[in-house]
Each structure stands twice: as structure tokens, then as C-alpha cells.
Amino acid sequence: MTAQEATQMSTKDMSSTASPSQARALTAIDLFSGCGGLSHGLKRAGFHVVAAVEIDGKAQATYELNHPAVRLYPKDIRKLDPMQVLSDTGLQPGDLDLLAGCPPCQGFSRLRTRNQQTFVKDDRNNLVADFVRFVKVMKPKTIMLENVPALAKDGRFTRMRNQLGAFGYGMVTHILDAADYGVPQRRKRLIMLASRVHRPEMAAKAGSRITVRQALKHVGAPSTTKDKLHAMPERRSQAIRELIALIPKNGGSRTDLGADRQLACHKRSNGFRDVYGRMAWDDVSPTITSGCHNPSKGRFLHPSYNRTITLREAALLQGFPRDYKFDISHGKEAIGLMIGNALPPPFIAAHARALRKGLLEAHTMTPAESSMTTAR
């Protein structure tokens, strides 16, 4: 699969191969939607996203630019009644096919858990309980939860799994690399699939990985583009520009320059060796974070040009399509945060297709057959 194919696959492609009985619309709700990566992945997998919830104003605006037909609740999920969402979307408890979300994970981040604590005190982590609250009321047929790997060791995740089991859900949880599922980026994530109508299974890995070269091969120079996101300018001192120009192309690092050419702050630290490093053309990119436009935040220099990747290039490496809209008036920091925090659409689409397959198969089963499948 090429990068363009991985990015442009649509629900039309899927429905063209589905039988009439499989063509029915499957509903989904996206909690903690951010700028819409999860919703985009669900749509690519053939789901009809009927509602989404997001608290951040700039993320809300970006979501609405790209998903105008979805009913967006621009508010704190802790103040939202799930029965109201069901009523607004014409659903009853048990009707919803998929409830999906990624509770904000900053409190579970790797840097926050370096001391091996398995219970991090951060109010955002308690949003996992709100995810369960929505499950309890909505009774969706299937569930998808995505998060950072550290969540697996937190007691709240164990409690959530126990609650879902008590509600009748079978579950499968793995820590996977998004690069194995059509994302041109190395990104380890925890994903949990749950179902009360069939036995859930993770999607099979893609046959090959998409490289930086494949993902960016159709992107022109920022100076010649009409894409305002791609053309957002850099502001670097002359000294930093000269340092970047010295770093070897195609995977080089500041450590290749020798000790006398290191920045003073780098000489004081033995860690963070990827900062001021270049990506390699024929490998996947490193994890795209909110600092993806800043060379001091990671290996975010372009493989060949003496600049960081642009925000459009960062979005492509996250698996967004080329025409995904961002309002540049929000500024680089806000857009970088949205892109870095987004769920890679191809990764979501792969696992949503696995759930969709199970849902459609369960739809054709008798109640007795369905109960036997979920009990296995």
C-alpha cells in the first residue's frame, strides 16, 4: 500500500465490496475528539460518526472545519449527560455500534511516569471514569479506547476493565506500533477493543511500512505552495540555521558534529540525543509530538532541507489526508499541539474495520450463536 492509498482510502472503497446486508450504516460516537483524527479514522472504516465531544476551543473549530455534519458538544465531558447525547442523536441505550475515545493522556505520559509510579495524580486521568460512565448509560455494542502505554499499569485502567467485564464486554488489549498499521511514524500506543456482541480481535498488521519518502513525496517546497499550513515560516537565529546546515542529510544527528559544535545546553545533558536530528527518507518518522515544528524538541529536521518539517508534513506523517484543514490563525503552537495529540487515522481505521467486521457478522447471527461467540 502506498502512502497515498493509505491516506485516501474512503468508506466508498469499502462499501463497494460489501454485500447488501453489510451496507447498513454503523453508528459511532467520538469522546475527547481533539481535531478529529479519531473521527476521520472511524469514517474511513465505514462508521457514521453521529456525535463528538471536545473541550478545547481551537480543536473544536478544527473539528468543525473537517467534520461539519457531526454533532459536536463543545464542553467538558464531565458536565455532559450521555442520555442527552443519545436523545439528540435519536438513539436508545444499546443502539450505538461503537463508542470510541482517548481520554487526555498527559498525566500518563512517559516523562511523568519515569519513576515507575503506577498511579499518577492528575485530574485528567480521572476522565477514564467518565468514559466508563458513558459506556454504562449508552451500552454500546463495541468500544475502542486508545491511549499511551503507561495507562496499562495504572490502577484506574484495571478498575475500568473490571467494570466493563461486569457489564458483559469481552476485551482485548495490546500495546502496538502505529507504524505497523499504515502510519509513516514510529508510535507505540495502547489500544483496547471491547464488545458485548462478538469476540473482538485486533487488526492484522500491514504487509509493509510506509516511509517518510513515501509520505512526503508529493509535497512541494513551502516557498511555492498555496497551502498556508505548509507555508508557515520558521524563525531561527543565524547560529541555529548554520548548525542545522551542518547536520548530515538523511538521518544525521547533532552528535555527528563533534563536541566543539554542540550547543551549550546539549553539553550539559547526556539525554535527548534525537534533538536537532534529521529524519531518514527510507524509514518511518519518529513519534510526532506537539513540538514537531521545533528542532530542540526531537528528530524533526527534514531529511534533506535545512529546516524542520512543516506542520503539513507533520500532519501527513500522522496519517491525515493532504486536504485536512487547519486554521493558521491559531498559530504554530496550538496547531502543533493538535497534530501531536491526534490519533493517527490509519491506525484507528484498521482497528475500527476489525470491529466493523465483527459487528456485521454478529448482525447476521441468531441470538444463541452470538452469545456463544462472546462467551468463547
The pLDDT tens digits of the residues spanning 195-239 come to 999 999 999 999 999 999 999 999 999 999 999 999 999 999 998
3-class secondary-structure state, position 353: helix
Residue 94: which CATH number?
3.40.50.150
pLDDT band at 254 (very low <50, low <70, confident <90, very high): confident
1 pLDDT exceeds 60?
no
Q: What was the pLDDT predicted at 126?
A: 80
Distance CA 222, CA 231 (A): 5
In this structure, of 80-94, 175-189, 268-282, 353-367, the range with the lowest mean pLDDT score is 268-282
Q: In what order do the strands lie in the sheet with 142-147?
A: 71-73, 47-53, 26-31, 98-101, 142-147, 188-195, 170-177
Q: Are residues 201 and 218 in the same domain?
A: no
Q: Are residues 242 and 175 in the same domain?
A: no
What are 17-61's pLDDT values in tens digits? 344 334 568 999 999 999 999 999 999 999 999 999 999 999 999
Residue 251: which CATH number?
3.90.120.10
Q: Are residues 335 and 286 in the same domain?
A: yes
Q: Are residues 306 and 203 in the same domain?
A: no
Mean pLDDT of 302-306: 97
In this structure, of 93-102, 123-132, 295-304, 308-317, the range with the lowest mean pLDDT score is 123-132
Residue type for position 202: M
Cα dihedral sign for 71, 344, 340, 323? Answer: negative
pLDDT band at 268 (very low <50, low <70, confident <90, very high): low
C-alpha cell at 317: 506523517
- The residue written with cell numbers 500518563 in the block is 108
Q: Are residues 243 and 112 in the same domain?
A: no
DSSP 175: E
What are 153-207's pLDDT values in tens digits? 988 899 999 999 999 999 999 999 999 999 999 999 999 999 999 999 999 999 9
Q: Are residues 202 and 223 in the same domain?
A: no
Mean pLDDT of 3-15: 41
Residues 6 or more apart whose CB falls under 8 angstroms from that of 2 comprise 210, 214
Q: Are residues 167 and 202 in the same domain?
A: yes
Q: What was the pLDDT predicted at 15?
A: 39
Reply yes or no on whether 105 is catalytic. Answer: yes
118 pLDDT exceeds 80?
no
Q: How many structural domains are present in the chain?
A: 2
Q: Are residues 135 and 24 in the same domain?
A: yes
Looking at every residue in the chain, the average pLDDT score rounds to 86
Residue of 35, 105, 265, 292 marked active site: 105
Q: Are residues 232 and 256 in the same domain?
A: yes
Q: How many other C-beta atoms lie within 10 A of the C-beta of residue 123?
A: 9
φ, ψ at 140 (rounded to 5°): -65, 155
Q: Are residues 78 and 224 in the same domain?
A: no
Residue 39, class by beta-carbon neighbours within 10 Å (0-12 exposed, 13-18 middle, 19+ buried)?
Answer: buried
* Structural domain of 302: 212-340
Task: Note the pTM of the prediction, 2 decimals.
Answer: 0.86
Name the residue among 361, 337, 353 with its Cα closest to residue 6: 353
Residue type for position 69: A
Mean pLDDT of 128-147: 97
Q: Are residues 273 and 230 in the same domain?
A: yes
